Amino acid sequence: MATRHKPSSATYVFKTLPTPVGRLRLVGSDGGLAAILWENDDPKRVPLPIAGESPEHPVLVEVARQLDEYFAGERLTFDLPLDFHGTVFQKDVWTALLNVPYGQTRSYAQIAEQIGRPTATRAVGAANGRNPISIIAPCHRIIGTNGTLTGFAGGLDAKAWLLRHEGSLAAPPGLERNVRRV
């Protein structure tokens, strides 16, 4: 994957992007994408000092372009500078997420094994829940060991929509009814 990590202490700005799964708030700095926040996101999930809106910020314009391509079915991977922060363990989990291919899923236990912490399944779940860059670091591709869909910051309907979009989940009747088309 060609995604790059660049640390930054710059000011964070945002741009709002309408998508098939609702309005996303893209947060970034000159260093890269820092977060993708959902409409009803818990502000404590990804606490960032956001200075204000900047819809023409070059990093956010590029993130929006690549997400638009993803939602149109024209992009399978992302090539973006990243400026996300967390503990060493969280970053290990998020890096593992970046390596789960489009159209595939993994369990929390498989991610724990992959990062060399086979008994840390619950901690992997917690780190997955704090993933600041949903969709880019595809936490929606992580499911329960028994194949069930589990928590997702954007909600389970959005998670199911993303997995169906990628071809890794069949659409049961009526599940899509609560996903907003914006």
**Which residue type occupies 145?**
T
Q: Does some domain include residue 40?
A: yes
> In angstroms, rounded to a whole number, what is the distance separating the alpha carbons of residues 116 and 145?
18
Same domain, 61 and 118: no
Among 82, 98, 114, residue at a domain's last position: 82
The count of domains in the chain is 2
Q: Can you tell me the mean pLDDT for 81-94?
A: 92
User: Which of the residue ranges 110-114, 144-148, 166-170, 172-176 would you say has the lowest mean pLDDT?
Assistant: 172-176
Same domain, 104 and 132: yes
Catalytic residue among 139, 143, 160, 162: 139
- CATH number, domain of 66, equals 3.30.160.70
Q: Does some domain include residue 30?
A: yes
- CATH number, domain of 140, equals 1.10.10.10
Closest CA to 4 of 87, 111, 78, 102: 78
Same domain, 102 and 142: yes
Q: Can you tell me the mean pLDDT for 39-54?
A: 84
Q: Does some domain include residue 144?
A: yes
Same domain, 98 and 137: yes
**Which residue type occupies 121?**
T
Q: Does some domain include residue 20?
A: yes
Q: Can you tell me the mean pLDDT for 21-42?
A: 93
For residue 4, pLDDT over 80 is answered with no
Same domain, 104 and 145: yes
139 in catalytic set: yes
For residue 60, pLDDT over 90 is answered with yes
Q: Does some domain include residue 12?
A: yes
Q: Can you tell me the mean pLDDT for 61-78?
A: 97
Taking the CA atoms of 65, 20, 42 and 139 in sequence, report the sign of the dihedral they define: negative
> In angstroms, rounded to a whole number, what is the distance separating the alpha carbons of residues 1 and 130?
22
Same domain, 153 and 99: yes
Residue-level pLDDT at 9: 58
> Domain range holding 129?
88-169
Residue-level pLDDT at 170: 61
How sure is the predictor about 180, in pLDDT bands with cuts at 50, 70 and 90? Answer: very low
Q: Does some domain include residue 177?
A: no
